[in-house]
Amino acid sequence: MNILDFINYWIAMFLLVTGLYIVIARGNLVKKLVGLSIFQTSVYLVYISPSKIIGGTAPIIVPGMSVYSNPLPHVLILTAIVVGVATIALGLAIVVRIHEAYGTIEEDEIHAQDQGTQ
Amino acid sequence: MNIADPQLALAIPAVGAVLIALCGRWPDVRETVTLATAIALLVVVASLAQLVFAGERPSVTLFSMLPGLSIALTVEPLGMLFGLIASGLWIVNSIYSIGYMRGNNEKNQTRFYVFFAIALACAMGIAFAGNLLTLLLFYEALTIATYPLVAHKGDPNTVRSARVYIGILLTTSIGLLIPAIVWTYIVAGTTDFVAGGILEGNLQGPAVGLLLGLYVFGAGKAAVMPVHRWLPAAMVAPTPVSALLHAVAVVKAGVFTIVKVIVYTFGVDFLFTQPSSSWLVYVAAFTIIAASIVALRQTNLKRLLAYSTIAQLSYVVMATAILKPLSEIGAAIHMVSHAFGKITLFFAVGAIYTASKKTEITQLRGIGRRMPWTMTAFTIGALSMIGVPPTAGFVSKWYILAGSFQADNYVALFTIIASTVLNAAYFLPIVFWAWFSEDTSEPDKQHGEAPVAIIIALTITAALTIAFFFFNGPALELESQLVGRQK
Amino acid sequence: MISSNLPALQVVVPLIAAPVCVLLRRGTLTWLLAWLASWSAAAISIVLLIRVLDQGTISYALGGWLAPWGIEYRVDAVNAFVLVLVSLVGAVIVPYARTSIGAEIRSEQHYLFWTAYLLCLAGLLGVTITGDAFNVFVFLEVSSLATYILIAFGNDRRALVASYQYLIMGTIGATFIVIGVGLLYLMTGTLNLADIAQRISEMPVDRPLLAALAFLTVGISLKLALFPLHLWLPNAYAYAPSVSTAFLAATATKVAVYLLLRFTFTVFGKSHVFDDLPYGEILLALSIAAMFVASLVAIFQEDVKRMFAYSSVAQIGYITLGIGLANTSGLTGSIVHLFNHAVAKGAIFLLLGCVALRIGQPALSQMAGLAKRMPLTAAGLVVAGLSLIGVPGTVGFVSKWYLVMGALEKGWWWLAALVLLSSLLAVVYVWRVVEICYFREPSKDLATANEAPLSMLIPAWVFVIACVYFGLDATVTSETAATAAKTLLESLR
């Protein structure tokens, strides 16, 4: 078994962990969202890469083509991308509101302000 | 319409509570409603009693609570007796409450009467419960309904004591009684009260003793040591609450639960064959002696009575645990005789407080001359606690002793004799000081008897204490049905 | 025609109503529309439940595309019960919400609130009703995104931070779920839950499947706030508007629990999950930790809403405890507690909303004397509080009864003892509230306050009365729950 056979999964997992690390390690709320976006993107690879057959085409019957890729995961990931975009958009909108309310988007400064008001 | 219906016994005080709440603005109407409710309840309970005397067991299933488990009422001799005491003494206690609450200008009197009526409804539910689940439901409801009564004054000290009260009662019932009932349900497949018990053949060996322990300590209202601390704490309540609830309804609900479980869930004969259940006599005996010794050291009258109650409750538990027909009768009768005696004592203490604001034993010197009625009643109550004829206390002690002889149980015999001495040791000095000692109170604190309503109430209960010595036939007959049905 | 399309309408009605709200823009009109949509959803769910109990599982092919190619809506006893729960709670809250959000949210934003509310409702119903794994994810995100908005509506600026935190954790959870679903799809080649279950039962459990189970469990646990993944919950509940808190506390976590049930029992199957893996043990350990740690933390909270938010984490522990037991009684207890806890917590948060209407979000000390000024509110809090403790005669007792029975049937004494012991912690925090409400002189905030208007009190008291009614007559709820539990345990293996 060649380790490179699973190169697509290796890449996906690398992106996944990278994204998760950014979410946890960064204090800047926008950077956290960037991490979250990378994290979500990695999942797209998990779906798409196994369903793409090299040399395969879209599943439309045309003469001369006998190899087709599975369209279903592609469709699913289209949906997931939409969901992801919506999430990031909402997240950024909330960050804007947080900036209006606190004057900062650094997590520790927000935390300090909250402690002060209590 | 047939009034001999256990549902009515629950409905009357419940409806009464609503009416009292509605009449809250007019104290006279409110108290009339209370009295009328109490009388109506007694009528219903008495008509039920006739049926039970005739050997009937009126029963009704109210509704199904869980699949296969319903809320059901069944009237049997033991519950009948408990129902009779609680409802009968409620009338007397209501008269007393009127005098006491008005005499002391207590606040929130409507709340007081409302929760009192609810507590009585719960007590009726416990008395007539047809299965363990119903018993548990009303048992907990009684705990909750009496909490506002205990915390009535509402000052921080009272609230703290009330916290002990609710804390211990909820802890024991949730922590021990509920698992006991679930366990019973799992092994027996039912929680119904059946003459002769439901556990025979379903449970063996040490598990029996363990289950018994869950029940005895789970019924925290019985105040078997070490779960007795709530009772002295509950003494912060107004005296009518201490009198009816913490000498009669609530505490009797505890020992009633234990007796009922032993008779109808375990079965006396089955339990007698199980050596793992014998510990109960020792624990009860210890409670009797220990509580009496603690009572000796009390200086506050109500706390003294509370510890005396703890000891007397364990008489009932011990008598049941002897597991002989005569002792079971003794246990049931002791619930009655202690009720009469102890309510009289509390009435007297409340009367003293209302008239003079005295709460300590040392303040009672020579008080007999100022309050002759009150102190006569107190003396009768005290004699009944000791078990001197011609008072009610003698009758029940007689049966418990007879039962101990039947079982050759010398621990029980010794305990009864020792505690009689102890009882005398803490009650007689008070009686002596009250009658034969010089009055030391200051001249500006002159006082006479308490209000008339109070005097009427305590005279009635004192008379009952003596009357029960002579006319205890019906009660004995009723309870002999209890043991007669199972040899 | 309509009757055969009920499963679709269940989701479509609130889903269509949501964008219409944006078009209407007028506060009152949108409120009426929300009322209409939520009450019809409730009616539909009740019809579905009756039909399922009567005739067994309903399968509905969305758009006429048959499973496993199309998306199947599949209603059995388990999700019919959850559908009723979610839509009923949604329906009762709508009339309440008008006054409450009137005080807590600027009036020009009301139509947005209702849009988010209806989307959230549609999402939750969709997650519950669908029989398609990817559809679960989509609806979960619909409801989650709407939830973040509902929380961010809070007056306090901390609501924004709470919403943001929840967004991060919720998205991580949802993404984990997608990974799990993706792995399942790769292994089985289908997305239909029943189909996946069928195929898993025929194949050995190898590593990708275990990984799928792990991703799904962790993802769903984030959503249901299983200890220690509950960190988003207290702040989100504490700072969201009262209506949002009540709605989310009663429904959102419950739907996540349903998902956990669905995946562990129906899809993977009891024998794979519970017999071959220490899954039950892990769940039990976390549940016990939740019951104790969260209750203890609740005892030391000063903010009343936060206190009950922690109590929610503890109560979720009871629910997952029943799942961990994986026997009929335990599972019945767990499912019935979904309903019972929803009712009790719904009541509490709605009543706290009544208090908030008068004095703003209350700290415990500000509740002093509540019983004098707002007697009905205080009395309702006591009843619902007793229900959290599990006093007989309230819904909490019914759940505890089954959970204790489930533990004892397995011979696990210690577990029964722990369940009851943790109930006693609830006594402590509930009684703190009771004492302050009843035995203190009214605080200066409450000095001039009076009862909340009836439009708020009545819905709140509907929950309070349900606490007692379904505690006394629990045959309907517990029989439905028992049927659901049996359905889960019997599915396939």
What pLDDT, on the 0 to 100 scale, is given for residue C345? 92
Quote the pLDDT of residue A118. Answer: 52
Cβ atoms C311, C429 nearer than 8 A: yes
Closest among C82, C58, C69, C10 to C192, alpha carbons compared: C69
pLDDT above 80 (res B438): no
Q: What is the pLDDT of residues B329-366, one digit of tens each?
A: 888 888 888 888 899 998 898 888 888 888 888 888 88
Percentage of residues of chain B with pLDDT beyond 70: 97
Question: Which residues of chain A make contact with C183, given a CB cutoff of 8 A?
Answer: 46
Cα–Cα dist B413/B397, whole Å:
10
Contacts of A115 (CB under 8 A, 6+ apart): none
Contact C48, C55 (CB under 8 A): no
Question: How far apart are the C-alpha atoms of C295 and C291, rounded to whole Å?
Answer: 6
- Out of B63, B151, B178, whose CB is closest to C420? B178
User: What is the spatial distance between Cα C138 and Cα C491, in angstroms, rounded to a whole number?
Assistant: 25
Compute CA distances A29 → A59, A94, B54, B335, C236, whole Å.
42, 10, 82, 71, 17
In this predicted structure, the answer to whether residue B1 has a pLDDT above a threshold of 80 is no
- Give dist(CA B162, CA B154) in Å, integer: 9
Instruction: Please name the member of B66, B163, B175 whose beta carbon is closest to the beta carbon of C421.
Output: B175
Using a CB-CB distance cutoff of 8 angstroms, which residues of chain B are in contact with residue C423?
174
Contacts of B457 (CB under 8 A, 6+ apart): B92, B93, B95, B96, B99, B347
Percent of chain C whose pLDDT exceeds 70? 99
Buried b / exposed e along C368-390 (16+ C-beta atoms within 10 A): bbbbbbbebbbbbbbbbbbbbbb
C-alpha B198/C-alpha A94 separation (Å) is 64
Residue type, C456: M
User: A11 touching C, CB under 8 A?
Assistant: no
Please indicate whether, in this complex, the C-beta atoms of A39 and C172 are within 8 angstroms of each other. Answer: yes
Tell me what pLDDT residue B484 has.
62
Which residue is it, tokens 């409804």?
B121
Does C138 contact A at CB distance below 8 Å?
yes
CB-CB: which of C163, C168, C185 is closest to A32?
C168
Query: What's the pLDDT tens digit per position in B254-306?
Result: 889 998 888 888 888 888 888 888 888 889 999 999 999 998 888 888 888 88
Cβ–Cβ below 8 Å for A79 and C186: no
Write down the domain spans for chain A.
Answer: 28-53+66-118
CB < 8 Å to B137, chain C: 392-393, 472
Banded model confidence at residue A96, pLDDT cuts 50, 70, 90: very high
d(CA B369, CA B268): 50
Phi, psi of B426 (to 5 degrees): -100, -20
CA dihedral C210, C211, C215, C217 (to 10 degrees): 10
Q: CA C335 to CA C257: how far, in whole Å?
A: 9
Structure tokens at B419: 């505690």
Q: How confident is the model over C236-250, as a mean pLDDT?
A: 90
Residues 147-176 of B with CB under 8 A from C: 148, 151, 154, 156, 159, 163, 166-167, 170-171, 174-175
Chains with at least 3 CB pairs less than 8 angstroms from chain B: C
Q: Which residue of A has its CA nearest to C146?
A: A90
Instruction: Give the H or E element holding residue C75.
Output: strand C72-75
Using a CB–CB cutoff of 8 Å, tell me whether A50 touches chain C: yes
Search chain B and give the residue with CA nearest C475: B66
Mutate to test the interface with A, among C138, C178, C195, C207 (most CBs of A within 10 A): C178
The HSE-up count of residue C117 (CA atoms within 13 Å, CB side) is 33
Closest CA to B44 of B79, B87, B9, B80: B9
- Parallel, antiparallel, or unpaired: how do β-strands C58-61 and B69-74 relate? unpaired
CA B367-B371-B376 angle, 5° bins:
95
Q: Which chains touch A (3 or more CB pairs under 8 A)?
A: C
Rounded Cα gap, residues B202 and B369, in angstroms: 62
C427 and B CB contact within 8 Å:
yes
Residue B71's H or E segment, with its range, is strand B69-74
Q: State the smallest CA–CA distance between residue C211 and chain A in angstroms.
A: 13
Q: Does A28 touch chain C (CB under 8 A)?
A: no
B174·C408 Cβ contact <8 A: no
Closest CB from C391, C423, C424 relative to B144: C391
pLDDT > 90 fraction of chain C, expressed in percent and rounded: 30
Chains A and B touch (3+ CB pairs under 8 A): no
A117 compared with C263, residue with greater pLDDT: C263
Q: Are B333 and B473 in contact (CB under 8 A)?
A: no
Whether A23 and C164 lie within 8 Å, measured CB to CB: no
Facing residue for C405 by CB, picked from B65, B170, B182: B182
B74: which strand partners?
Answer: B59
Q: Which of C160, C168, C174 sits opposite A23 (nearest CB)?
A: C168
Q: Do B186 and C423 touch (CB under 8 A)?
A: no
Amino acid symbol at C163: S
- How close C305 gets to chain B, by Cα (Å)? 23
Give just the sign of the alpha carbon dihedral C133, C139, C145, C147. negative
- Cis-peptide, bond into residue B238, ω within 30° of zero: no
| Min Cα separation C439/chain B (Å) | 5
Which is nearest to B306 in space by CA: B230, B362, B388? B230
- Put simply, the chain C residues between 381 and 410 with a CB less than 8 A from any chain B CB are 386, 389-393, 398, 400-401, 404-405, 408-409
d(CA C189, CA A73): 10
Kindly state the helix (H) or strand (E) to which residue B73 belongs, with its residue range: strand B69-74
Instruction: For residues C150 and C153, give the distance between their C-alpha atoms in angstroms, rounded to a whole number.
Output: 5
Quick check: B154 and C438 CB within 8 A? yes
Q: What is the pLDDT of residue A53?
A: 77
| Cα distance between residue C163 and residue C220, in whole Å | 18
* Nearest in space to C90 (alpha carbons), one of C232, C315, C249: C249
Residues of A whose CB is below 8 A from C158: 114
Report which secondary-structure segment, H or E, holds B436.
helix B410-436
- Closest CB from B64, B156, B175 relative to C424: B175
The distance of A52 to chain C (nearest Cα, Å) reads: 12
The dihedral formed by the CA atoms of B6, B9, B10 and B16, expressed in degrees to the nearest 10: 160
Examine the pLDDT at B443 and tell me if it is beyond 60. no
Q: What is the distance between the terminal CA atoms of chain A, rounded to a whole angstrom?
A: 59
As a whole number, the mean pLDDT across chain C is 87
Alpha-carbon distance of C325 to C412, in angstroms, equals 10
Closest by Cβ to B65, choosing from C424, C438, C472: C472
Nearest-CA distance A101 → chain C (Å): 6
**CB hemisphere CA count around C446 (13 angstroms):** 29
In this predicted model, which residue has the larger pLDDT, A51 or C83? C83
Instruction: Kindly state the DSSP code that residue C368 receives in the 8-state scheme.
Output: T
C232-239 and C242-261 helices cross at what angle (nearest 10)?
150
Distance CA C337, CA C474 (A): 11
Tell me which of A23-37, C1-15, C131-145 is least confident.
C1-15
What would the pLDDT profile of B206-265 be if each residue is shown by its tens digit? Answer: 888 888 889 999 888 888 888 888 888 888 888 888 888 777 888 888 889 998 888 888
Residue in B with minimal Cα distance to C396 = B174
Q: What is the ipTM of this complex?
A: 0.92
Task: Give CA separation, C61 vs B11, C10, C140, in Å.
Answer: 53, 14, 20
SS3 A118: coil
- Decide if A94 and C160 are in contact by the 8 Å CB cutoff: yes
Contact indicator for B141, B71 with CB cutoff of 8 Å: no
For residue C12, give both structure tokens.
């479509």
Which chain C residue is nearest to residue B178, measuring alpha carbons? C401
Q: Which amino acid is at B420?
A: T
User: What number of other Cβ atoms are within 10 A of residue A85's Cβ?
Assistant: 12
User: In A, which residues are within 8 Å of C149 by CB distance?
Assistant: 90
Nearest in space to C82 (alpha carbons), one of C331, C259, C283? C259
On whether any CB of chain C is under 8 Å from the CB of A36, the answer is: yes
Work out the mean pLDDT of chain B and round it to a whole number.
86
User: What does residue C392 show for φ and ψ, rounded to 5 degrees?
Assistant: -55, 140
* B136 closest CB neighbour out of C392, C435, C473: C392
**One-character DSSP codes across C227-282:** TTS-THHHHHHHHS-HHHHHHHHHHHHHHHHHHHHIIIIIII-HIIIIISSTHHHH
**Model confidence pLDDT, tens digit, residues C287-344:** 999 999 999 999 998 888 899 999 999 999 999 999 988 888 899 999 999 899 999 9
The minimal CB distance from B159 to the residues C401, C435, C473 is found for C435
Residue pairs between chains B and C whose CB atoms are closer than 8 Å: 82
Query: Which phi and psi angles does C73 have, rounded to 5°?
Result: -100, 125
Residue A103 has pLDDT above 90, yes or no: no
H helices present in B202-324, as ranges: 206-218, 230-233, 239-244, 250-260, 268-272, 279-296, 301-322
Tens-place pLDDT, residues C413-437: 888 889 888 888 898 999 988 888 8
